[in-house]
Amino acid sequence: METTLRVLKEYVQDNFNTRIYDIVMEFPGSIVDSGKMPLKKTIIHFELDALDSGPLGFGDGKFADNYDPVLQTITPQYATVNVLTFDVGVWASDKSGGTTMRARARQQLEFLFGVNAGGLTRLMEYSDGGDGGLEILSFSGGRFVLDTSAHDFRLYRMVDCQLILRVFSRTPIPADEPGQPTIEDVIQAPNLTIIG
């Protein structure tokens, strides 16, 4: 979870001008409610709405044995598949660029996450640290609305937009627990002869 949220935020920040956009990994209600209006920057938010996790494949979900030849032990790791559903929103005020900045934000989000726009490849290449990355399952929606409930300032919002990602995780290798012993050699009785 920690690395998924961090990498997702970094990916978006690296592809948006952060002098005019703020990327937040939560619903920005507290920012709006705090009275810091009108917004100086257009806000793009990613709120984790749902997380589905389950074992990978069939069986016990063991992913790797992690053999230690010195101690002759294995320390298994178990794999999990995680599907994360994010609510994606845009918040702009007249001061931060209004409808123009809202439309630009939606267009750039489509470029970053749209499967047909090459977003799948871009995010995977950006997030792959050598053992897997973030996979886009879908990016859809986005409806423009005008919100005047925030201290009499107009907020140009994008609502009903959803990003679904899949990421695989594994249990950590415990540093303080001994591994499970292994059978190194099977020695038959030396004088045993099989006649056949």
Q: How many CB atoms lie within 10 A of CB 90?
A: 24
Query: What pLDDT, on a 0 to 100 scale, did the predictor assign at position 52?
Result: 95
The answer to whether residue 59 is domain-embedded is no
With beta carbons less than 8 A apart as the criterion, state whether 73 and 179 touch.
Answer: yes
Separation of alpha carbons 139 and 113, rounded Å: 6
The answer to whether residue 29 is domain-embedded is yes
Q: What is the CATH number of the domain that holds 139?
A: 3.30.2000.30
The answer to whether residue 103 is domain-embedded is yes
- pLDDT tens digits for range 44-64: 999 999 999 988 877 777 878
Query: What pLDDT, on a 0 to 100 scale, did the predictor assign at position 82?
Result: 96
With beta carbons less than 8 A apart as the criterion, state whether 173 and 66 touch.
Answer: yes
User: Which of 19, 28, 38 is CA-nearest to residue 93?
Assistant: 38
C-alpha distances in Å from residue 131, one per residue of 59, 118, 124, 134, 166: 22, 21, 11, 11, 14
Q: Cβ neighbours of residue 153 under 8 Å, at least 6 residues apart?
A: 37, 38, 93, 94
Query: What pLDDT, on a 0 to 100 scale, did the predictor assign at position 153?
Result: 80
Query: What pLDDT, on a 0 to 100 scale, did the predictor assign at position 151?
Result: 63
Those residues of the chain that have pLDDT short of 70 are: 33-37, 150-151, 196
- The bridge status of strand 42-55 relative to strand 21-24 is parallel
Query: What pLDDT, on a 0 to 100 scale, did the predictor assign at position 150?
Result: 60
Query: What pLDDT, on a 0 to 100 scale, did the predictor assign at position 165?
Result: 97
Write out the residue range of the structural domain in which residue 113 sits. 2-51+82-168
Query: What pLDDT, on a 0 to 100 scale, did the predictor assign at position 25?
Result: 94
Beta bridge partners of 155: 93, 147
